[in-house]
Amino acid sequence: MIRIFVPGDSVAVACGVEAVLVALRAVAEKAGRPLEVTRTGSRGLHWLEPLVEVERGGVRHGYGPLRAADVDLRILEGGVHPRHLGPVEDLPALRLQTRLLFARCGVADPLSFSAYAARGGMAGISRARALGPEGVVAEVTASGLRGRGGAGFPAGIKWKTVAAAPGARKFVVCNADEGDSGTFADRMLMEGDPLGLIEGMAIAAFAVGAGKGYIYSRSEYPLANRTLAAALEVARAEGLLGPDFDIELRIGAGSYVCGEETALLESLEGKRGQVRAKPPLPAHHGLFGMPTVVNNVLTLASVPWILSQGSAAYQALGHGRSRGTMPLQLAGNVKRGGLYEVPFGMTLGQIVDGLGGGTASGRPVRAVQCGGPLGAYFPRALFDTVYDYESFAAREGLVGHGGIVVFDDTVDMARQARFAMEFCSIESCGKCTPCRIGSVRGMEVIDRILAGDEVERNIALLDELCETMKFGSLCALGGFVPYPVLSAVRHFPEDFVAPARRRQRELAS
């Protein structure tokens, strides 16, 4: 019997893993070698996907990136093969990581409860029950865990507020509306270790006294949703969910702004995803008007580890006021794209050049956008920025949800700035004027700059418009879109001025 591990993650599927598996089965059958196939999540080494692992002598050997045409008997029998990577656990890209949150992802069958329990699953909720609700809140607070959705708000304080708030019912809502381009950690976790998320939500519910949970996922993630739905059934069968606390999976409908927590609550209530004014906070007045914990997938999935290993172990990792690990997601034009879970504290240069290996195109890195469509563009000159919430904020940047999108020197930053405004105009919920109207005016002003129309005056106007959007918008959509726009203007002014000069020269000649 030959044991092989084949990822069923969206990245592997999109890169053609199913055809590879068909080829592997055919080769095994022809050779009369029985095959035991375990479908797993992804290791996050996406430049090696489809990455198939073959167990030999208890060690899992990696082969990737594989195409169906690469498959032959040498893979199954351990002969020399050009795609052989050696033992997967020894790959430098995995060795340098500190995997707490993604420890099980890509390793085991995400829907096997016994595999989950064998790898530390359920230890968190056992300790939570021993500590009692107040003890759990104290432990999460002491760990220094901050919301991984983007805002970085201390999770323990949010939980304490909900626990203390009066309410006939309370809810735990998992924000899995991972809309930021360049991020896929939530998706990977839901596809690779959904039981970890469910256990985290069950712990949160126990801590605050909630009877029902919702996971708000995306219609863009059909595979993740299928895995989650199956994992919820497993959790019910195993008693992790039951009459005291159950979870309903809800699917969004293509709206980016529903990733904002109050718009998400509106959407769960069956309404347009329009942002609510805060206060009141969701912790006091959330879903159906009841006290509600709203946390990101990664925040909730961090909790079982913190409970089972203790807050001190988590607190010991990180940099400054950013504690624990962050799953960095390297994307776009990058040589070694994928997910890297590391403690806070690396520099941006170490991440992009070191982990990522520069661009996929082989051209120089010109800009990286950190923290999604509303995050700033960083030039190489700022590659010494330390990756943590405060250091990024000091440079007008966002850690956000951990996405880092790399661009080579062919990028037109004026076009990226215009896209940020266009995206905001498409996705604005329409409730507040600075976002709804400001984003459209922003596109127009950038168009005028690029046409060479009173360039300096219009750049000043764009600056003023961004100021209004930043301080006048109701939520982070309109409020943060100035980050990509102004960082592009500030760090890459030549892209805004040069086209205008070119056009003036054309007109003159």
Partner 1 sequence: MTLGYHGAIMTPTGSLEARVLAILAHHAGREGALLPVLHDVQAAFGCVPQEAVPVIAKGLNLSRAEVHGVVTFYHDFRSEPAGRRHVRICRGEACQAMGADALATRVLAHFRLDWDGTTSDGAVTVSPIFCLGLCSVAPAVQVDGAVHARVSAEVVIRLAEGGT
Torsion of CA 174, 177, 178, 181, to 10 degrees: -160
Residue 495 sits in the site that holds partner 1 (CB under 8 A): no
Q: Taking a C-beta distance cutoff of 8 angstroms, is the pair 115, 108 a contact?
A: yes
Q: Taking a C-beta distance cutoff of 8 angstroms, is the pair 323, 144 a contact?
A: yes
Q: What residues from 355 to 394 belong to the interface with partner 1 (CB under 8 A)?
A: 360, 369, 373
Q: What residues from 79 to 108 belong to the interface with partner 1 (CB under 8 A)?
A: none
What beta strand segments (E) does 57-109 contain? 59-63, 84-87
Residue 480 sits in the site that holds partner 1 (CB under 8 A): no
Q: What residues from 237 to 296 belong to the interface with partner 1 (CB under 8 A)?
A: 250-256, 267-274, 288
Q: Name the minimum Å distance from CB 378 to partner 1.
A: 13
Q: Taking a C-beta distance cutoff of 8 angstroms, is the pair 16, 68 a contact?
A: yes
d(CA 186, CA 259): 12
d(CA 453, CA 421): 19
Q: Name the minimum Å distance from CB 75 to partner 1.
A: 21
Task: Please give the span between the terminal C-alpha atoms of the chain, in angstroms, as a whole number.
Answer: 76
State which residue, 203 or 475, has the beta carbon closest to partner 1: 475
Largest CA distance in the chain: 81
Q: Name the minimum Å distance from CB 21 to partner 1.
A: 15
Q: Taking a C-beta distance cutoff of 8 angstroms, is the pair 304, 314 a contact?
A: no
Q: Name the minimum Å distance from CB 197 to partner 1.
A: 15
Q: Name the minimum Å distance from CB 504 to partner 1.
A: 26
Span from 106-114, 144-152, 401-409, 434-442 in contact with partner 1 (CB under 8 A): 401-409
Residue 222 sits in the site that holds partner 1 (CB under 8 A): yes
Q: Compute the 3-state secondary structure of the chain and give helix, strand, coil in percent, each to the nearest 5.
A: 50, 15, 35
Q: Taking a C-beta distance cutoff of 8 angstroms, is the pair 300, 215 a contact?
A: no
Q: Taking a C-beta distance cutoff of 8 angstroms, is the pair 294, 282 a contact?
A: yes
Q: Name the minimum Å distance from CB 249 to partner 1.
A: 8
Beta-carbon neighbour count of residue 108 at 10 Å?
A: 22
State which residue, 318 or 356, has the beta carbon closest to partner 1: 356
Which residue, 328, 223, 326, 232, is CA-closest to 12?
223
Q: What residues from 54 to 83 belong to the interface with partner 1 (CB under 8 A)?
A: none
State which residue, 15 or 136, has the beta carbon closest to partner 1: 15
Q: With contacts defined by CB under 8 A, how many residues of the chain interact with partner 1?
A: 62
d(CA 216, CA 258): 9
State which residue, 67 or 119, has the beta carbon closest to partner 1: 67
- Which residue of 416, 439, 473, 487 would you call a contact of partner 1, by CB under 8 A? 416
Residue 221 sits in the site that holds partner 1 (CB under 8 A): yes
317 bridge partner residues: none
- Which residue of 91, 93, 223, 440 would you call a contact of partner 1, by CB under 8 A? 223
Q: Name the minimum Å distance from CB 397 to partner 1.
A: 15
Q: Is 240 exposed, middle or buried (0-12, 13-18, 19+ CB in 10 A)?
A: buried
Residue with tokens 């999935």: 301
Residue 332 sits in the site that holds partner 1 (CB under 8 A): yes
- Which residue of 427, 431, 450, 473 would you call a contact of partner 1, by CB under 8 A? 427
Q: Name the minimum Å distance from CB 498 to partner 1.
A: 20
State which residue, 207 or 404, has the beta carbon closest to partner 1: 404
Task: Specify the 3-state DSSP secondary structure of 324.
Answer: coil
Tell me the three-class secondary structure of 188-256, residue by residue: HHHHHCHHHHHHHHHHHHHHHCCCEEEEEECCCCHHHHHHHHHHHHHHHHCCCCCCCCEEEEEECCCCH
146 bridge partner residues: 154
Q: Name the minimum Å distance from CB 228 to partner 1.
A: 13
Span from 27-35, 53-61, 114-122, 215-223 in contact with partner 1 (CB under 8 A): 215-223
Q: Name the minimum Å distance from CB 316 to partner 1.
A: 29
State which residue, 293 or 306, has the beta carbon closest to partner 1: 293
State which residue, 253 or 381, has the beta carbon closest to partner 1: 253
Q: Name the minimum Å distance from CB 14 to partner 1.
A: 4
Q: What residues from 154 to 213 belong to the interface with partner 1 (CB under 8 A)?
A: 178-184, 186-187
- Give the binding site for partner 1 (CB under 8 A): 10-11, 13-15, 46-47, 49, 178-184, 186-187, 219-224, 250-256, 267-274, 288, 329-334, 337-339, 360, 369, 373, 403, 405-408, 411, 416, 419, 423, 427, 429
